[in-house]
Structure 1
Amino acid sequence: MKPLRSLAAGFAGALALTALHETVRRLRPDDAPRMDVLGMRGLRKLLRKANAPQPDDDTLFDITMAGDVLSNGLYYSLVGSGRHALRRGLLLGVAAGAGGVLLPGPLGLGEAPSNRTPQTQAMTVAWYTVGGLVAGAVARALRKR
């Protein structure tokens, strides 16, 4: 039962993160983080290396969103279901946000989507932190059941 609670918490955090990203990118297009763009660039790069066909932009976006929710859900499930789930969620969120700011350039995905402005950098870290905190809070709530 504990693994299922951890997965449920992780996916709650991932869905919160994705909803936040998608909402803010529509409301603040000039400085909102564009992690969707980084995901699509990464997927295109992988498909090119595999000599696989490139999907159209709409399909690519849909695949990227599904991949984001899946990978972030699994990542946030590391909060576990123990006493310190909220603290682990905070730390996992901050680490993911810092990675979102620092890693795209060295990975060859470009820096603008998460580094465009200081506000973009702050939002990137904040949104991933929110996802981690949601995962931790859900894990804590499920633990008490």
Structure 2
Amino acid sequence: MRSVLSPTTVEKAPAAVTVVGGQQLRERQWQVNLSESLGNVPGMLIQNRQNYAQDLQLSIRGHGARSTFGVRGIQVYMDGIPATMPDGQGQANHIDLSSLERLEVLRGPYSTLYGNASGGVIQAYTERGEGAPQLHSSFAMGSNGQKRLGLKATERAAA
């Protein structure tokens, strides 16, 4: 699989890169936040605080572990647009897992190519609409009356 981070395949990249596909992010998950899907990324600790006022606690190789709120020391990008403030603070709760094509996690010293991201970089890429307009729905039920309804529309944009 090719990564946007480098012109070569991920296996040959001179950096610690993990690519998580969109299908893997959605499979058997509630699709509420990143803590459900990124627990298997090496060197990354992501904890759901169950408090949406504070967002997730995200740490890559120890960077960001002492953050009391938000994400610090880790750059977050959504389709190449920075979602991290200039002071290094960001949030990851705006990423819609149901419409992601893939997530790329860059760990280690190569993350400095993105600025003050000493801990790492998380890049999220949304799916591209292809072909005729489509409508996708999803429904999930859990214990204690938990329900999740989802509706997604896709279409190829006119050039």
Whose strand fraction is larger, Structure 1's or Structure 2's? 2
> Same fold judged by TM-score > 0.5?
no
Structure that is richer in helix per residue: 1
Compare relative contact order (CA 8 Å, sep 6+) and give the higher one, 1 or 2.
Answer: 1
